[in-house]
Amino acid sequence: MRRAFVIELFGHEMCLLSVIQSLRFCEDLEVHVISSDHVKRNVMQSSFFQEDVEWHEIKTEEPKRNRLIKNAKSFKRVIEDVLQAVFDVSERNDLVLINTVECDLCHLLISRNLVESLSTRGLKVFIGIHNSFLFMSGFAAELEKDLKRYYSLPLETRFEKKGFPSFLSAIMAKMVLRHRRACLRRIAASAAGHFVFGELVLTPSSSKARLVFSSKPVDLDVVSFRRKRIFEIGHNKDKLVFTVTGRVDLHRRDYTSVLRSFEQIDASKFQLVFLGEFADEKVRELVSNSSIRNSITTFDRRISEEEFEHWISKTDFVIAPVSEIPPYGKFKISGNPGDALSAGIPLIIPKRYYENNTSPGTLSYTDSESLKEKIEELIENRAFSASISNEALDRTLSIADGLERTASVCNILSDA
């Protein structure tokens, strides 16, 4: 039986669990997971944890989110442990899916020490791509400029916090970004294929195999109750629940437009949930002063998975007010579409995100007025609400049944 090794050292636990869930549908494929110790601990607390796959735990010195590697020396030791775990049980033409290669230090050693070593042994290596801009070049000048600014600014901030002057921080950030992109392009070129978390996310080469996963596993428990809730939506006038998932700040999501839209609607007809920890005082102030404050549910703490799933099970529509387009959409996946797809819930998202290629069960808007009109239509036209809800649920069920994306993944892997 052919083996597939899924490697995750740095986080992205839900993405890891989604890959595992999809691969388990593939016949004649034995799934192995190689993860850091802290990723394994986090995953084991999830309701999506799969006990019937082979787990190989890699010890690390610094079990902190996205910073488990202190230096290149310890990173090299981790890479050696990963290679040993694969080589102990692998055979030629087995598959290896490596997630999260864009982070600090990863790209410096993964290509030379991991990808090349695995490929030399005759294994087929697939690279997970979370930020496709970093792997690619040749974009239009204006787009290239905008995206470079998006990826350079966080680096500039980090250098400034270390005491470097602004002008030097900007130069260093550009150099680091240029070097990172060059390394990642080499990694992408050496891989047998690539995988992404979202249908629209670009991959570096059209000639190589491309796998598409959801950013979150399908929640079969929540999905099983959706049909009953859809019936209720279509046959009574209960409040509809609209939820924005994720950390509440203005960095990536436009909460201002969401509030402006709902403030023009009868607050007795909806409940608005910001399902994430408040991390932005400006949003907190906007909510506190809002005329619909009593219809908004917020949280001052980090949400546990159990609490998240509780509120998702009550949600009728997920709103994804993504403000950074691009890179989100073509180059990077937002978590909101994954949350909606996982639970079979309709998604409401800016039109630019999908560039007119919206999936079934998805509604798009252009501005706060357009969003208000969509919400009003959903509230007042319950037959329409039920119809779009059924579309979203059917799409999720097709994935859960292996009839859509999972079948495609299995077919591609079998040909690799």
Residue 45: Cβ within 10 Å count: 11
Residues 362 and 313 in one domain: yes
Contacts of 281 by beta carbon, 8 Å cutoff, 6+ apart = none
Are the C-beta atoms of residues 288 and 298 closer than 8 Å to each other? Answer: no
pTM for the whole thing? 0.86
Are the C-beta atoms of residues 36 and 60 closer than 8 Å to each other? Answer: yes
Q: What distance in Å separates the CA atoms of residue 247 and residue 253, rounded to the nearest whole number?
A: 9
State pLDDT tens for residues 261-303.
999 999 999 999 999 999 889 999 999 999 999 999 999 998 9
State pLDDT tens for residues 336-349.
999 999 999 999 99
Q: DSSP per residue over 308-345, as a string?
A: HHHHHHH-SEEE--B--TTTBTTTB--HHHHHHHHHT-
Please give the residue range of the domain that contains residue 234. 220-400
409 lies in some domain: no
Nearest alpha-carbon partner for 259 in 240, 242, 276, 279? 242
pLDDT at 176 over 90: no
Share of residues in the chain with pLDDT > 70 (%): 93
Residues 21 and 164 in one domain: yes
State pLDDT tens for residues 56-98.
998 876 544 444 445 556 777 888 899 999 999 999 999 999 9
Average pLDDT score over residue span 104-116: 69
pLDDT recorded at residue 65: 47
Domain boundary among 177, 192, 215: 215
411 lies in some domain: no
- Sign of the CA dihedral running 32, 35, 39, 44: positive
Average pLDDT, the chain: 88
The more confidently predicted of residues 308 and 141 is 308
Domain boundary among 192, 215, 238: 215
Residues 306 and 394 in one domain: yes
Q: What distance in Å separates the CA atoms of residue 331 and residue 342, rounded to the nearest whole number?
A: 21
Residues 280 and 184 in one domain: no
57 lies in some domain: yes
Residues 385 and 252 in one domain: yes
When pLDDT is cut at 50, 70 and 90, the band that residue 142 belongs to is confident
Residues 227 and 210 in one domain: no
- State the total domains in the chain: 2
Residues 372 and 292 in one domain: yes
Average pLDDT score over residue span 244-251: 91
405 lies in some domain: no
State pLDDT tens for residues 346-405.
999 999 888 767 889 999 999 999 999 999 999 999 999 999 999 999 989 887 776 555
Residues 206 and 230 in one domain: no
State pLDDT tens for residues 19-52.
999 898 888 899 999 998 888 988 998 989 988 8
When pLDDT is cut at 50, 70 and 90, the band that residue 112 belongs to is low
H or E element in which residue 374 lies: helix 368-380
* DSSP alpha helix (H) spans, 61-165: 72-89, 106-109, 116-120, 141-161
pLDDT recorded at residue 409: 84
Length of the chain in terms of residues written: 416
Q: What distance in Å separates the CA atoms of residue 327 and residue 337, rounded to the nearest whole number?
A: 15
Quick one: CA torsion of 195, 302, 320, 259, rounded to 10 degrees?
-170
Residues 225 and 153 in one domain: no
> Dmax of the chain from CA atoms?
64
Residues 254 and 385 in one domain: yes
State pLDDT tens for residues 120-129.
999 999 999 8
pLDDT recorded at residue 69: 47
pLDDT recorded at residue 229: 93
Average pLDDT score over residue span 100-117: 71
Residues 275 and 368 in one domain: yes
Find how far residue 56's CA is from the centre of its chain. 24
pLDDT at 255 over 90: yes
Contacts of 358 by beta carbon, 8 Å cutoff, 6+ apart = 364
Residues 117 and 34 in one domain: yes
Average pLDDT score over residue span 204-226: 87
